[in-house]
Amino acid sequence: MDKAAVLAELVRMSTSLGQPDKDYAILGEGNTSARIDDDTFYVKESGAYLATAAAEQFVEVRASAVLDMLEVEHLTDEEIKDRLTAARVSPSSGHPSIETVFHAYLLTIPGVNFVGHTHPVAVNTLLCSNKAQEIINGRVFPDEIIFCGIRPIFLPYMDPGVELARQIREGVIEFTQAERVRPKAILMQNHGLIALGSTSGEVEAITAMWVKTARVLAGAYALGGIHYLTTENVNRIYTRPDEEYRVRQFKAGSDE
């Protein structure tokens, strides 16, 4: 995809994720990004609403300048703001979201071209409970595995910014070493969901399926307990050759 096509698809994905009836993001919640090339990406500007996002509300940012922040031990809020401002390709563009740092890192993962961070009510109902980690510790139905991966990364609450980005980086490294595949979803306690996709369509599919999963988990828990699939069940579903067709279908968003 060329630069203009990337931006157009990011705008489409963002407004889709922000539709009020989906309950993924309220007011100015959530942010999105898309990889342009090895050193630049688009990210939603701070304060813009996903539901009404327009092309001019996405900031082109130099990834290298943002990623450098991960190697600085202590940065004040003002220093973070100044560095994000300096990382913009165009000085006249808006200010990048404070969560730009984790977007920059996630877009370096091979196969990740689009990132969607939302705060779905159904997902946060679980993530704000004191049973969050216990409840999401197992898989419950085949489509969850096919669309959302073998498991999500779960992270305790961390204040948004550079420290959260470092925590996400650590979680991704641990996941890839353990599972030998890239993650598709990150769940942050008392915060929200991050969906990682090769296409915008994949981000939307992962987000929608995690909302369904959260509703199923909450309902099963309320009805007496959750019946999780066995490890053997999960591994079999994740590696079934006949599921590759469905994987290709949901990855094939309008950006391909």
Q: What does the pLDDT look like over 51-102, one tens digit per residue? A: 999 999 999 999 999 999 999 988 899 999 999 999 999 998 999 988 999 9
In a domain, 59, yes or no: yes
CATH number at residue 219: 3.40.225.10
Is the residue at 160 inside a domain? yes
**Does some domain include residue 170?**
yes
Domain assignment present for 14 = yes
Quick check: pTM over 0.85? yes
Q: Structural domain of residue 63, as residue ranges?
A: 3-251
State the Cα–Cα distance between residues 235 and 212, nearest whole angstrom. Answer: 21
**Is residue 46 within 8 Å of 95, Cβ to Cβ?**
yes
Quick: pLDDT tens for 129-148. Answer: 999 999 999 999 999 999 99
What whole-number distance in Å separates Cα of residue 28 and Cα of residue 33? Answer: 15
Other C-beta atoms closer than 10 Å to the C-beta of 140 total 18
Residue 52 forms part of a structural domain: yes
State the pLDDT at residue 256.
39
Any domain includes 208: yes
Residue 256 lies in a domain: no
Domain count across the chain: 1
